[in-house]
A and B are shown apart, each in its own frame.
Chain A
Amino acid sequence: MSAQTHFKTPLRPSPFHPRTAPLNRLNRWGPWAGQLNALCFGDVDMEYTAIRNAASVYDLCAMVKYRVTGREAAEYLNRLTLRDAGKLAVGGVHYTAWCDDAGKLLDDGTLFRHGPQDYLICCQERHLPWLLDSAQGFDVAVREVTEEIAALSLQGPCSASVLAAAGFDVWGLKPFRMAEFAFQGGSLTISRTGFTGDLGYELWLTPDLALPFWDHLMQAGAPWGIRPIGSDALDLARIEAGFIITNMDFIPAHQALREDRPRSPLEMGLGWMIDWDKGQFTGRAALAAEQARGSDWALVGLDIPGNVSAEGSILYHDKKHEVGMITAAAWSPALKASVALAQVQARHAGGANLWVEIYALRELQYVKLMLPVQVVPRPFFNPPRKRATPPARV
């Protein structure tokens, strides 16, 4: 219990910080899960363009990671999460979520199966007490490994080509699968996953290899215009892809101060995840009851007329009654449309006579818009290249 100096740098710098810091021309940083994270390196439009046009690199180190190992790892994860972790093949990844007893979401995240009894959970928020409590009665070990793994997200139509140039043949790697490669005496895990709705990979390695790997990747990607991006550009891409983010599109149940704020997976459009055939999981009874009774809320994707972002706007039924709230919105450069994610009272999820009131600040005056919205399927942007295996060589 020696004295610490963490109070001088409350936000931990990422293992890639020595490289990303000089590149961050505007010095725009924000906190993410206790880590210093680039919001933008200098030009959000060019960073977004790299995601959809070439190759982009996003520092994922802050992602909270838990390693679950042991004889009953699969049983444990089945009781913890909504999907059947036993059905996830070794070398596979799935998107999942977990709830409290009341069936309200604690978080969503990706689950990686490294071995029959070896899983990795990657998520947005911290859950150690919950994961340990859930481990009672299971022969399993749960350990936080956030700082033991460095990670980058390489996304964009040229990302496979960049990896090939870097000496990693991922042409045959299918979505939601991962593969291991040697790198400088260590190992690099590449999973075909991402948060942009585009072709892309996530790259996992030990922190000691972070800087050499960064240099290697940036050099290999230079011909394609590889570019580090911050969370502003990523947020735009994820909205186009229709992905939700914990604490932005829903409040995790263990953090919510107001009891009515947490949302269930059914309410957040994640009902498809629930494996009702696998037996007990935490929140099952509550979710079954909700399903029988009907949910209070629904997550919807919206298409909004015009080109003004509807961020933070309120939804109305018949222009009069408040029925929901936009949680993420942007004008999409890819679609040339204003799109949004919103929580809406379930009975209005069909979108009939649904309106959004936008306050657009233009030179110190608000322009008030009351616009009819249309409920549309997500993802808004869903290019075939996202799934194509092998990806196009570009």
Chain B
Amino acid sequence: MRSCDILILGAGVNGLACATRLAKAGRSVLVLEAAATPGGGAGEVEFHPGFRAPALAHLTQGLDPRVARALPVAFHPALTTALQGGITVKGGAASVDAAAWSALHARLSRFAQALAPFRQMPPPIPGAGNAWSRLVRPLLGLRGLGQAELRELMRLILINVHDVGEDELSSDALRGLLSFDATLGAWLGPRSPNSLILYLDRLARGADPLLPVGGMGALAQSLAKGAEAAGVTLRCNARVARVVVADGRARGVVLDSGEEIAAKTVVSALNPRTTFHQLIGARHLDAGFHRRIGHIRMRGGAAKAHLALSGLPALADPKARLVIAPSSTAVENAFNPVKYGQVPDRPVMEVLLPSAHDSGMAPAGAHVLSAIVQSAPHAPRDPVAARAAMLENSLAVLEENIPGLRSLILHAEILMPQDIEARFGLIGGNWHHGELAVEQMLFNRPLHGADRYATPVPGLWLAGAGAHPGGGINGAAGWNAAEALLEAKG
């Protein structure tokens, strides 16, 4: 039987970040990945002969700074966001309602910066026993906002993003963008309380969307190469069947092939529910904990569309990120039917033309369009009909905004949340391995009792997006987990 020091399950961004940090600390690390290539949600797929698309995520707000230092990745310059009517937005600059947007962006960015340090540490404990020394800096950062801004932060922290748009902006297009970006990847509409904080979290990761040079597949490869350079052993096509628990402690894994690998510590960057319900199993857990794992909400509301195009679509700026969300109400209306397992008539979406940045994505002259479409039902009554309706409704909206697009389509596919679950192990198709929602943040992420990367099973740690502070092609969760593990000498 093989054995190693630390075994990491899942070679997504968090698994690789965690592995790298541990390897740099001199630990021997083996990463097991079920797929043929590393990357997880950051991979690339040939969805039509000669046409390659980002498999799931097609942009990032940037890697966690600690991860970025350890695993350098080259990015194209930050993307401009294009809205309908020729409106463009980049950071604090908008071509309409400019003063209001810039003031709002500046204020929210200040809040995001004040909150950002909390992303780079285990969540504070809701009680005594905190490492207070570690909390001094972030708390002083909050205090440093000053009385007026601190009050405003406390008012806004759980507010809904729709109201903020109504109160602070006058352009429907900008309101739509704000609402869209806040609810991207979440399972709620902009009128839902607790939606603005998701926008703050996005800003804390980075102000503008970034595209890796060479595409998302290149990012995955850079991370994997960097990890290997740091001493990590990476093994793909190795699906874990279960975690071996003996005498109340995780002691290794058994692969689908039957091969056993022993380890001193097992770190799962997989979905927390998969980890506990499938790999560990009820008989090694307390019943209440097992039940609460089942209560972690993992509803994905986003679908992913890939179009193979015979030529360049009619885009004002082919290199921009196009957001089709004409108003905050449009975003809300696109979410409404999803609550009942139905498909929206007019979805909202984020459209990218990766082939405009990296020519290798499509044959010469041809193009690839990648779109994240919201909202899609995670458990429709008829999955096949829902997928067809979602694709048709998405294409209709795209055609309206990009006239002539349909005539260029050689091949079109849409991944519904259930498809995303099947391909990437993201339960419910939720990108964050558990909805990123206030009630599932900090010490409630993924759930109280396993919120600081250690779990009730000695020797088993969590390092995936399901853990604090969540996912988003960022790596903070994995890095934090590694630091917590090292601190605990696990």
Say if the two chains contact directly (CB < 8 Å).
yes
Residues of A at the B interface (CB closer than 8 Å) are 75, 79-80, 100-101, 130, 133-134, 136-138, 279-280, 282-285
Task: Tell whether, in the assembled complex, residue A133 and residue B248 are in contact, meaning their CB atoms are under 8 Å apart.
Answer: no
Q: Give the docked Cα–Cα distance between A134 and B282 (Å).
A: 8
Question: Taking A136-B294, A137-B277, A285-B456 as contacts, is the C-beta distance between A100 and B288 under 8 angstroms?
Answer: yes
Q: Which residues of A contact B281 (CB under 8 A)?
A: 137
Residues facing A in B262-304 (CB within 8 A) are: 277, 281-291, 294
Task: Tell whether, in the assembled complex, residue B290 and residue A280 are in contact, meaning their CB atoms are under 8 Å apart.
Answer: no
Output the least CB separation between B287 and chain A (Å): 4
Task: Tell whether, in the assembled complex, residue A101 and residue B287 are in contact, meaning their CB atoms are under 8 Å apart.
Answer: yes
Kindly name the residue among A101, A133, A283 whose own CB sees the greatest number of chain B CB atoms within 10 A: A101
Task: Tell whether, in the assembled complex, residue B282 and residue A137 are in contact, meaning their CB atoms are under 8 Å apart.
Answer: yes
Q: Which residues of A contact B283 (CB under 8 A)?
A: 75, 79, 137-138, 279-280
Kindly name the residue among B248, B285, B286 whose own CB sees the greatest number of chain A CB atoms within 10 A: B286
Of B287, B291, B456, the residue contacting A79 (CB under 8 A) is B287
Task: Tell whether, in the assembled complex, residue A136 and residue B290 are in contact, meaning their CB atoms are under 8 Å apart.
Answer: yes
Q: How extensive is the interface on chain B, given as a class? A: 10 to 19
Output the least CB separation between A53 and chain B (Å): 45
Question: Taking A136-B294, A137-B277, A285-B456 as contacts, is the C-beta distance between A280 and B284 under 8 angstroms?
Answer: yes
Q: Which residues of A contact B287 (CB under 8 A)?
A: 79-80, 100-101, 130, 133-134, 136, 282
Task: Tell whether, in the assembled complex, residue B285 and residue A280 are in contact, meaning their CB atoms are under 8 Å apart.
Answer: yes
Q: Give the docked Cα–Cα distance between A101 and B287 (Å).
A: 7
Q: Which residues of B contact A133 (CB under 8 A)?
A: 287-288, 290-291
Q: Give the docked Cα–Cα distance between A75 and B294 (Å).
A: 21
Q: Give the docked Cα–Cα distance between A121 and B283 (Å).
A: 20
Q: Which residues of A contact B289 (CB under 8 A)?
A: 101
Task: Give the nearest-CB partner of A80 in chain B.
Answer: B287
Q: Give the docked Cα–Cα distance between A79 and B291 (Å).
A: 14
Q: Which residues of A contact B288 (CB under 8 A)?
A: 100-101, 133, 282
Q: Give the docked Cα–Cα distance between A80 and B282 (Å).
A: 11
Q: Give the docked Cα–Cα distance between A174 and B25 (Å).
A: 64
Q: What are 14 of the A-B contact pairs (CB < 8 Å)? A: A75-B283, A80-B287, A101-B286, A101-B288, A133-B291, A136-B282, A136-B294, A137-B283, A280-B283, A280-B284, A282-B286, A282-B287, A285-B248, A285-B456
Q: Give the docked Cα–Cα distance between A79 and B294 (Å).
A: 18
Q: Give the docked Cα–Cα distance between A100 and B277 (Å).
A: 19
Of A100, A101, A130, A280, the residue contacting B248 (CB under 8 A) is A280
Task: Tell whether, in the assembled complex, residue A136 and residue B286 are in contact, meaning their CB atoms are under 8 Å apart.
Answer: no
Output the least CB separation between A136 and chain B (Å): 6
Q: Give the docked Cα–Cα distance between A345 and B135 (Å).
A: 37
Q: Give the docked Cα–Cα distance between A100 and B289 (Å).
A: 10
Question: Taking A79-B287, A133-B287 as contacts, is the C-beta distance between A138 and B456 under 8 angstroms?
Answer: no
Task: Give the nearest-CB partner of B449 in chain A.
Answer: A101
Other 8 A-B pairs with CB < 8 A, given A279-B283, A282-B288: A79-B283, A79-B287, A136-B287, A137-B277, A137-B281, A137-B282, A137-B283, A282-B286
Task: Give the nearest-CB partner of A100 in chain B.
Answer: B288
Kindly name the residue among B281, B282, B285, B290 whose own CB sees the greatest number of chain A CB atoms within 10 A: B282
Q: Which residues of B contact A138 (CB under 8 A)?
A: 282-283
Q: Which residues of B contact A136 (CB under 8 A)?
A: 282, 287, 290-291, 294
Kindly name the residue among A79, A100, A130 whose own CB sees the greatest number of chain B CB atoms within 10 A: A79
Q: Give the docked Cα–Cα distance between A75 and B282 (Å).
A: 11
Output the least CB separation between A163 and chain B (Å): 39
Q: Give the docked Cα–Cα distance between A107 and B101 (Å).
A: 60
Q: Which residues of B contact A137 (CB under 8 A)?
A: 277, 281-283, 290
Task: Give the nearest-CB partner of A131 in chain B.
Answer: B287
Output the least CB separation between A320 and chain B (Å): 30
Task: Give the nearest-CB partner of B248 in chain A.
Answer: A280
Task: Give the nearest-CB partner of B293 in chain A.
Answer: A136
Q: Give the docked Cα–Cα distance between A56 and B291 (Å).
A: 44
Q: Give the docked Cα–Cα distance between A161 and B424 (Å).
A: 70
Q: Which residues of B contact A280 (CB under 8 A)?
A: 248, 283-285
Chain B positions 434 through 461: 1 when the CB is less than 8 Å from some CB of chain A, otherwise 0 = 0000000000000000000000100000
Q: Which residues of A contact B285 (CB under 8 A)?
A: 280
Q: Give the docked Cα–Cα distance between A105 and B451 (Å).
A: 25
Task: Give the nearest-CB partner of A130 in chain B.
Answer: B287
Task: Give the nearest-CB partner of A133 in chain B.
Answer: B291
Question: Taking A137-B277, A137-B281 as contacts, is the C-beta distance between A283 and B286 under 8 angstroms?
Answer: yes
Q: Which residues of A contact B291 (CB under 8 A)?
A: 133, 136
Q: Which residues of B contact A283 (CB under 8 A)?
A: 286
Task: Give the nearest-CB partner of A288 in chain B.
Answer: B248
Q: Give the docked Cα–Cα distance between A175 and B291 (Å).
A: 37
Q: Give the docked Cα–Cα distance between A285 and B284 (Å).
A: 11
Q: Which 6 A-B pairs have the closest CB atoms?
A: A137-B282, A101-B288, A101-B286, A134-B287, A133-B291, A282-B287
Output the least CB separation between B276 and chain A (Å): 10
Q: Give the docked Cα–Cα distance between A279 and B286 (Å).
A: 12
Q: Which residues of A contact B248 (CB under 8 A)?
A: 279-280, 284-285
Q: Give the docked Cα–Cα distance between A280 and B283 (Å).
A: 7
Kindly name the residue among A80, A279, A280 whose own CB sees the greatest number of chain B CB atoms within 10 A: A280
Task: Give the nearest-CB partner of A283 in chain B.
Answer: B286
Q: Which residues of A contact B277 (CB under 8 A)?
A: 137
Q: Give the docked Cα–Cα distance between A203 and B277 (Å).
A: 41
Q: Give the docked Cα–Cα distance between A284 and B286 (Å).
A: 8
Output the least CB separation between B427 and chain A (Å): 16
Task: Give the nearest-CB partner of B284 in chain A.
Answer: A280
Task: Tell whether, in the assembled complex, residue A285 and residue B282 are in contact, meaning their CB atoms are under 8 Å apart.
Answer: no
Task: Tell whether, in the assembled complex, residue A285 and residue B286 are in contact, meaning their CB atoms are under 8 Å apart.
Answer: yes
Q: Give the docked Cα–Cα distance between A133 and B286 (Å).
A: 11
Task: Give the nearest-CB partner of B289 in chain A.
Answer: A101
Task: Give the nearest-CB partner of B285 in chain A.
Answer: A280
Q: Give the docked Cα–Cα distance between A320 and B294 (Å).
A: 49
Q: Give the docked Cα–Cα distance between A58 and B457 (Å).
A: 46
Task: Give the nearest-CB partner of B291 in chain A.
Answer: A133
Q: Which residues of B contact A101 (CB under 8 A)?
A: 286-289
Task: Give the nearest-CB partner of A286 in chain B.
Answer: B286
Q: Which residues of B contact A80 (CB under 8 A)?
A: 287
Output the least CB separation between A86 and chain B (Å): 13
Chain B positions 352 through 393: 1 when the CB is less than 8 Å from some CB of chain A, otherwise 0 = 000000000000000000000000000000000000000000
Task: Give the nearest-CB partner of A78 in chain B.
Answer: B283
Q: Give the docked Cα–Cα distance between A186 and B197 (Å).
A: 66
Q: Give the docked Cα–Cα distance between A133 and B277 (Å).
A: 13
Q: Which residues of B contact A282 (CB under 8 A)?
A: 286-288
Q: Which residues of B contact A284 (CB under 8 A)?
A: 248, 286
Q: Which residues of B contact A75 (CB under 8 A)?
A: 283
Q: Which residues of A contact B294 (CB under 8 A)?
A: 136
Q: Give the docked Cα–Cα distance between A36 and B221 (Å).
A: 71
Q: Give the docked Cα–Cα distance between A352 and B12 (Å).
A: 62
Q: Give the docked Cα–Cα distance between A282 and B290 (Å).
A: 10
Output the least CB separation between A211 and chain B (Å): 40
Q: Give the docked Cα–Cα distance between A137 and B285 (Å).
A: 11
Task: Give the nearest-CB partner of A134 in chain B.
Answer: B287
Output the least CB separation between A134 and chain B (Å): 4
